[in-house]
């Protein structure tokens, strides 16, 4: 079913499934903790997938179409149509490659662009697997602080790039310093961005991204951008694709987050015109990671009727506002800046007296599972991440439980 088909208004997607139905799921979110724990931690949504995805995967199963994935552009062409409709921009299918998922694509790029021991800059706090995968690849994690408002700190990025380059880590095989007009792009230094940012929910502006592109060009750094949360941007914020701002760098994305499909593996690596050569030099094995059913599901998601995603974003916005009201009434000492995007909220709990990892007492004493702030790197201490992709009742019960923990700690 294409974007020109209009369906009747959908019910709020997070209100369709009951807690009993959710607990029958065997994926990570609802199965990891005992039944008395409310799980608002890992990034899975409490939704049913779009009907088009269900039908596409079911049809493939009925037909026994479960072999190896095809070598074609159907997946990226589906993304291109989606991106053109949503953002007025679309990628070049010829400058793309499939991969197993976003993190495997990022690791492949890091290993190709940065020599062993070389630096990868991470604006932090940020999604924990970034640092984990960089370290496992034998590269150096260089945290760069965000601003107090959780935005990219351009001065800090500039200083960090200057630091790694002046230390010799950024000198490439050409022997010329990064930024030299004759030097190749990506002389061994990479900057890894999360756009929109996880966990703060910030949507980077066009001017911020252009400034980052300018710094990367000045210092000869490669930029790798994770845009997996890009469709999850409720109004009034506006998502800006990295490759609509600059011809250089790489984007790694998929339909996994926006359509709740992480269990059906399929990702895409996209290259700007100035970085296509590096894309062609990636190992062929990178392209073999996606599953055929994953490609079928993700392409169907991008081609599905937009009212499903619109309803999800509307429900996220409602829960974003609901959480603010609940915190103001029950735990006003928590610092809360409503996220511009994603279904994740980043809470500053440093004034609660619960230590550097407040998720621990919230879980132990309140039986509510939240993302642990310290795992997001420097700047995450004293914070928790809350998954808003749940029913109003679950969110309200979670805040009630958190309030009980805070009251007990202060009594």
Q: Walk along the chain (411 residues) and give the pLDDT tens digit of each residue.
A: 334 434 445 569 999 999 999 999 999 999 999 999 999 999 999 999 999 999 999 999 999 999 999 989 999 999 999 999 999 999 999 999 999 999 999 999 999 999 999 999 999 999 999 999 999 999 999 999 999 999 999 999 999 999 999 875 443 333 334 443 333 334 699 999 999 999 999 999 999 999 999 999 999 999 999 999 999 999 899 999 999 999 999 999 999 999 999 999 999 999 999 999 999 999 999 988 999 999 999 999 999 999 999 999 999 999 999 999 999 999 999 999 999 999 999 999 999 999 999 999 999 999 999 999 999 999 999 999 999 999 999 999 999 999 999 999 876
Residues 411, 213: Cα–Cα separation, whole Å: 51
Residue 99 dihedral angles phi and psi, to the nearest 5°: -150, 175
Q: CA 216: distance to chain centroid?
A: 21
Q: Which two tokens stand for residue 355?
A: 């230590």
Domains of the chain: 13-49+306-410 (3.90.1150.10), 59-303 (3.40.640.10)
Q: How far apart are CA 205 and CA 400, in angstroms?
A: 35
**Which residue spans within 133-274 are E strands per DSSP?**
140-145, 190-194, 222-226, 250-253, 267-271
Residue 180 is given by DSSP the state -
- In this prediction, residue 362 carries a pLDDT of 98
Residue 47: cis peptide before it, omega within 30 degrees of 0: no
Neighbouring C-beta atoms of residue 74, cutoff 10 Å: 14
**Do the beta carbons of residue 376 and residue 127 sit within 8 Å?**
yes
Contacts of 57 by beta carbon, 8 Å cutoff, 6+ apart: 264, 293, 296, 297, 300
CA dist., res. 400 & res. 109, Å (int): 43
At 166 the pLDDT is 83
Helix (H, G, I), strand (E, B) or coil at 251: strand
Burial 305-325 (b: 16+ CB within 10 A, else e): bbbbbebbbbbbbbbbeebee
Helices (H), 137-176: 154-166
Q: Report d(CA 287, CA 283) in Å as an integer.
A: 8
Q: How far is CA 357 from CA 47, 78, 348, 373, in A?
A: 29, 41, 11, 6
Cβ burial, residue 105 (10 Å; 0-12/13-18/19+): buried
- Report the residue count for the chain: 411
Give, in degrees to the nearest 5, the angle at Cα 268 between 75 and 203: 110
For residue 273, give the nearest of 243, 315, 239, 297 by alpha carbon: 243
pLDDT of 237 reads 96
Q: Which two tokens stand for residue 141?
A: 């994690």
CA distance 305 to 82: 10
pLDDT for 170 equals 40
**Omega before residue 325 within 30° of 0, cis:** no
The backbone torsions φ and ψ at residue 174, rounded to the nearest 5 degrees and listed phi first, read -70, -20
Query: What DSSP string runs through 283-324?
Result: -GGGGG-S-HHHHHHHHHHHHS-HHHHHHHHHHHHHHHHHHH
Give me the residue label for tokens 């990671």: 289
């Amino acid at each position: 079913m294409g974007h020109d088909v209009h369906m009747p208004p959908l019910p709020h997607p997070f209100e369709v499934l009951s807690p009993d139905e959710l607990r029958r799921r065997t994926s990570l979110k609802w199965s990891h903790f005992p039944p008395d724990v409310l799980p608002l931690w890992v990034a899975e949504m409490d939704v049913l997938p779009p009907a088009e995805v269900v039908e596409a995967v079911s049809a493939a199963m009925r037909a026994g179409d479960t072999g190896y994935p095809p070598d074609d552009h159907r997946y990226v062409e589906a993304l291109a149509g989606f991106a053109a409709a949503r953002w007025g921009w679309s990628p070049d299918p010829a400058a793309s490659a499939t991969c197993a998922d976003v993190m495997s694509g990022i690791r492949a790029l890091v290993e190709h662009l940065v020599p062993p021991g070389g630096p990868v800059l991470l604006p932090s706090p940020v999604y924990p697997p970034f640092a984990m995968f960089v370290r496992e690849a034998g590269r150096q994690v260089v945290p760069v602080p965000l601003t107090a408002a959780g935005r990219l700190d351009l001065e800090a990025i500039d200083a960090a790039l200057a630091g790694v380059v002046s230390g010799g880590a950024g000198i490439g095989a050409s022997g010329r310093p990064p930024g030299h007009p004759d030097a190749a792009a990506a002389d061994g230094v990479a900057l890894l961005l999360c756009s929109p940012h996880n966990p703060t929910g910030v949507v980077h502006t066009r001017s911020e991204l252009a400034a980052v592109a300018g710094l990367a060009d000045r210092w000869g750094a490669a930029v790798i951008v994770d845009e997996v949360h890009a469709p999850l941007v409720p109004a009034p914020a506006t998502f800006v694709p990295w490759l609509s701002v600059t011809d250089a760098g790489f984007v790694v994305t998929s339909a996994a987050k926006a359509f709740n499909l992480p269990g059906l593996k399929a990702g895409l690596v996209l290259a700007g015109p100035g970085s296509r050569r590096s894309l062609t030099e990636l190992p062929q094995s990178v392209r073999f990671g996606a599953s055929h059913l994953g490609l079928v599901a993700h392409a169907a998601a991008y081609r599905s009727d937009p009212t499903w995603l619109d309803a999800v974003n509307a429900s996220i916005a409602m829960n974003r506002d609901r959480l603010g009201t609940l915190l103001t009434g029950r735990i006003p000492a928590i610092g809360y800046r409503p996220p511009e995007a994603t279904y994740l909220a980043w809470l500053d709990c440093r004034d609660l007296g619960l230590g550097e990892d407040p998720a621990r007492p919230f879980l132990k004493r309140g039986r509510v599972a939240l993302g642990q702030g310290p795992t997001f790197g420097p700047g995450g201490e004293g914070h928790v991440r809350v998954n808003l992709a749940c029913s109003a009742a679950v969110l309200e019960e979670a805040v009630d439980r958190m309030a009980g923990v805070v009251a007990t700690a202060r009594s």
